Amino acid sequence: MEAAVAVSVDSDLEKENRAHGASSPEELIEWATATFGDSLIGSTSFGATSAVMLHLIHRIAPETPIVCVDTGYLFPETYRFAKELIERLRLDVRFYSARMSAARQEALYGKLWEQGEEGVKRYLQINKVEPMQRALDELGARAWMAGLRSEQTEHRSGLRRVERQDGRIKLHPILHWTAEEVSEYMREHELPYHPMFEQGYRSIGDHHSTIPTTADMDPRDGRILGKTRECGLHLPLTKEQDQSLKSSGL
């Protein structure tokens, strides 16, 4: 990759969104690659339609490292699906997990996801937030591409295509795509859905907190971990966490 062109912390996000708000996903990824170079990463959960964003990166920015946070509680089908896509698209995927194994966590703390909202928060912090923050740090990421779509959750409906999250630029190439557009892209490029999609699993996370949904339900209703339907990765850090990272020079 060519050397990155620096984008300062005080970049005018409004200006960038005016410039890229109506651009295609391919154009936004091309801009991000030219702008951030080796400090650009992607992320994936290998969920129901993750092949779309992964295929876009494969086409436009194939050298981009892609982070997958492995909680240790993914479905066996997810691990096999990940292997299939990595091999087919020749992806550079880096798996990050909690510093403490799932078995050790359960031995010491029990099933945190069954311990109310505080237990859920602790579970997410240990298994999702901390590994992702570590990945961003170790990979020197100044910009992060994610396949979020505005129709998925209330939080995502308020996002812009170019954001700042915890001091980094966050890019959402397919933010405004509808489910129909996602399906059309998958048909056009003959991309596979997650193997559990046909069983009604339209939003797929950890096996202990994912259930199938019917066509008349919101797909995120199949995610039953706590009150929020956000996984924690895409929410800003708390004030205390943000201050701790800043103190560490991140």
Q: pLDDT digits over 132-188, tens only?
A: 999 999 999 999 999 998 877 777 778 888 999 888 999 999 999 999 999 999 999
Lowest mean pLDDT among 18-22, 73-77, 100-104, 134-138: 18-22
Q: How many residues does this entry show for the chain?
A: 250
Q: Do 218 and 117 form a contact (C-beta atoms < 8 A)? A: no
Beta-sheet strand order (sheet of 143-145): 92-96, 65-69, 40-43, 143-145, 168-171, 162-165
218 pLDDT more than 90: no
Q: Which of 82, 231, 233, 234 is catalytic?
A: 231
Amino acid at the residue 213: T
Lowest mean pLDDT among 31-40, 115-124, 213-222: 213-222
The pLDDT value given to residue 240: 42
| Token couple for 1 | 């990759």
Greater confidence (98 vs 231) lies with 98
20 pLDDT more than 90: no
| Token couple for 58 | 């494969």
2 pLDDT more than 70: no
pLDDT-based confidence at residue 1 (cuts at 50, 70, 90): very low
Helices 13-20 and 25-36: angle between axes, nearest 10 degrees: 140
Q: pLDDT digits over 157-167, tens only?
A: 788 889 998 88
Tell me the mean pLDDT in the region 99-128.
96
The pLDDT value given to residue 228: 55
How far is 119 from 113, CA to CA, in rounded Å?
6
Return the number of other C-beta atoms located less than 10 Å from residue 38's C-beta. Answer: 17
Return the number of other C-beta atoms located less than 10 Å from residue 149's C-beta. Answer: 22
51 pLDDT more than 90: yes
- Our separate counts of H helices and E strands in the chain read 10, 6
Q: Do 30 and 1 form a contact (C-beta atoms < 8 A)? A: no
CA 13 to chain centre: 21
- Quick one: what percent of the chain has pLDDT higher than 90? 63
The pLDDT value given to residue 250: 24
Tell me the mean pLDDT in the region 37-61.
97
The CATH-assigned architecture of domain 13-243 is 3-Layer(aba) Sandwich (3.40)
Which positions ≥6 away from 39 have C-beta within 8 Å? Answer: 4, 140, 141, 142, 143
Return the number of other C-beta atoms located less than 10 Å from residue 67's C-beta. Answer: 23
Q: Do 40 and 189 form a contact (C-beta atoms < 8 A)? A: no
The pLDDT value given to residue 219: 63
231 is catalytic: yes
Mean pLDDT of the chain: 85
Greater confidence (162 vs 214) lies with 162
5 pLDDT more than 50: no
Q: pLDDT digits over 224-248, tens only?
A: 776 555 455 555 554 443 433 333 2
Q: Do 174 and 56 form a contact (C-beta atoms < 8 A)? A: yes
| HSE-CB for 171 with a 13 A CA cutoff | 27
Tell me the mean pLDDT in the region 44-69.
97
